[in-house]
């Protein structure tokens, strides 16, 4: 039963990412059809992230208060409805470009708010259902849904919009959210009676007082995750088509390759997290994986922008994203370790700060590219390098603090 829960959480993660990424691919046909610009797209992308950020902590609280089954199930139904409306309404009830942008901003904001529960509440469910020695791997399987969806979405949406039109691509992707929502809501068994995770010594506090220095440092380090990740989520397909010269049809499969690397790296990271934790402890495990993964991810992102050969650029993008996902489960297991009974709220706060990084990287690309062309892409990717190193530096401090508190 534990693995059924994790498999269904994988499905929720998959559906969540498919609904958030479909626009970044369909945009290639939506822009000329609806008279949208890249700057308009950045506003629309960020409206999702704003809703996603604002509702992270409330969604985590709802998960802690009402349980994961109802919160995630209702949320997933909302993803499907909002995705259908995103394909149905723009350009139909909105006759001008400005009105279309406003409508898409509203729909994507609501989608972000509905998706805010995904990872804080799912992380809580993993912690409830999985034994301590398997939580890293369980979290990685849940998180792997995002990379599988990201690999699948680009080729699927590019194929479906070329065959049926960009509106149909939204209708088709919405079906996944509806299917997984009904599966999750049909599951009625309660989690096993296990003790709540005990927070580390420096995090012991009265109920409800979850914010402390360790949580702040963890969340600050996670801003780099959002910054680097949304370089790929928002701009990878467009970069490959407009800068690297791939066609609309070929751009989808090529854009899937970095996500295939992430699919392989995510469970590998969870496996290594648990293995290293057995030998040196959970915090040392997270410190090693985050510092290694994020430094590598940032450096290789810049390498992808600098090399001239397209195969080398794609290879660097693959290893960059794979390195990012290698460390992903370490953040969520650490959040649960230092949160105690406030696991949903702490995970939501950490993800909120990560989303701010995503808003920043989504916003920085259009003005840089507009003013500097190809050099703007190099500058944007360089900023990702700096953010990867920034996260590693914070973990140098945070890992020492957490290890010290764990030993007394």
Number of residues that this document lists for the chain: 408
- Find the mean pLDDT for residues 181-205: 61
Q: What is the pLDDT of residue 66?
A: 86
Three-state SS letters, 130-186: CCHHHHHHHHHHHHHHHHHHHHHHHHHHHHHHHHHCHHHHHHHHHHHHHHHHHHHHC
- Find the mean pLDDT for residues 326-341: 82
Residues of the chain with pLDDT > 90, as a percent, come to 46
d(CA 217, CA 208): 19
Strand (E) positions, 204-363? Answer: none
Q: What is the pLDDT of residue 316?
A: 96
pLDDT beyond 70 at 390: yes
Q: What is the pLDDT of residues 85-121, one digit of tens each?
A: 999 989 888 778 899 999 999 999 999 999 999 988 8
Burial of 131: CB neighbours in 10 Å, binned 0-12, 13-18, 19+: exposed
Q: What is the pLDDT of residue 407?
A: 59
First vs last C-alpha separation in the chain: 36
Closest CA to 400 of 281, 305, 257, 229: 281
Query: CA 376 from chain center: how many Å?
Result: 24
Q: What is the pLDDT of residues 262-282, one digit of tens each?
A: 989 988 998 898 889 888 888
Q: Provide CB contacts within 8 A for 60, sequence distance 6+.
A: 117, 120, 121, 124, 343, 344, 345, 346, 347, 348, 349
Query: CA 312 from chain center: how many Å?
Result: 25
Among 32-46, 177-191, 192-206, where is mean pLDDT lowest?
192-206
CB 175 within 8 A of CB 298: no
pLDDT beyond 60 at 197: no
Average pLDDT, the chain: 87
Q: What is the pLDDT of residue 202?
A: 43
Q: What is the pLDDT of residue 406?
A: 64
Q: What is the pLDDT of residues 142-176, one digit of tens each?
A: 888 888 887 898 889 989 999 999 999 999 999 99
pLDDT beyond 90 at 193: no
């Amino acid at each position: 039963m534990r693995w059924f829960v994790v498999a269904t959480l994988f499905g929720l993660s998959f559906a969540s990412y498919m609904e958030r990424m479909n626009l970044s691919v369909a945009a290639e046909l939506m822009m000329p059809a609806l008279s949208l610009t890249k700057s308009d797209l950045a506003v629309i992308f960020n409206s999702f992230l704003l809703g996603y950020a604002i509702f992270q902590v409330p969604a985590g609280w709802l998960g802690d208060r009402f349980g994961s089954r109802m919160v995630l199930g209702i949320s997933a139904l909302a993803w499907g409805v909002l995705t259908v409306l995103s394909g149905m309404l723009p350009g139909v009830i909105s006759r001008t470009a400005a009105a279309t942008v406003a409508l898409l901003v509203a729909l994507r904001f609501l989608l972000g708010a509905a998706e805010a529960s995904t990872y804080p509440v799912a992380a809580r469910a993993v912690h409830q259902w999985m034994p301590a020695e398997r939580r890293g791997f369980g979290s990685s399987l849940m998180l792997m849904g995002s990379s599988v969806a990201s690999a699948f979405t680009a080729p699927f949406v590019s194929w479906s919009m070329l065959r049926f039109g960009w509106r149909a691509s939204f209708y088709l992707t919405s079906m996944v959210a509806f299917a997984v929502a009904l599966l999750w809501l049909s599951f009625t068994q309660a989690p096993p009676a296990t003790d709540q995770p005990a927070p580390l010594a420096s995090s012991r506090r009265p109920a409800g007082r979850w914010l402390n220095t360790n949580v702040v440092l963890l969340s600050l380090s996670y801003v780099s995750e959002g910054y680097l990740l949304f370089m790929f989520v928002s701009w990878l397909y467009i970069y490959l088509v407009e800068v690297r010269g791939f066609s609309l049809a070929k751009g989808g499969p090529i854009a899937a390759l970095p996500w295939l690397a992430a699919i392989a790296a995510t469970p590998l990271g969870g496996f290594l997290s648990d293995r290293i934790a057995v030998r040196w402890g959970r915090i040392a495990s997270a410190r090693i994986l985050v510092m290694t993964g994020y430094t590598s991810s940032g450096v290789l992102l810049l390498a992808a922008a600098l090399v001239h050969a397209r195969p080398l650029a794609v290879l660097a993008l693959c290893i960059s994203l794979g390195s990012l996902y290698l460390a992903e489960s370490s953040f969520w297991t650490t959040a649960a370790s230092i949160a105690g009974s406030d696991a949903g709220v702490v995970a939501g706060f950490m993800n909120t700060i990560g989303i701010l990084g995503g808003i920043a990287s989504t916003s920085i690309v259009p003005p840089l590219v507009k003013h500097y062309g190809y050099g703007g892409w190099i500058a944007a990717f360089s900023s990702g390098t700096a953010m990867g190193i920034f996260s590693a530096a914070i973990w140098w401090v945070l890992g020492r603090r957490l290890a010290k508190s764990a030993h007394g």
